[in-house]
Amino acid sequence: MPRYYLHIHTGHELEPDPEGDDFPDLGAAQAEAKRVIGEVWLDWPEARIGMAIEIVDETGQTVLRVPFADVIGRMQ
* All structural domains of the chain with their residue ranges: 3-75
Give per-10-residue mean pLDDT for the chain (76 aa): 94 90 98 92 71 96 93 66
Q: Identify the pLDDT of residue 45.
A: 67
| Buried b or exposed e, range 35-66, using 16+ CB within 10 angstroms | ebbeebbeeeeebbeebbbbbbbeeeeeebeb
pTM of the model: 0.87
- pLDDT for 40 equals 82
Looking at residue 21, its pLDDT comes to 97
Q: How far apart are CA 1 and CA 49, in angstroms?
A: 33
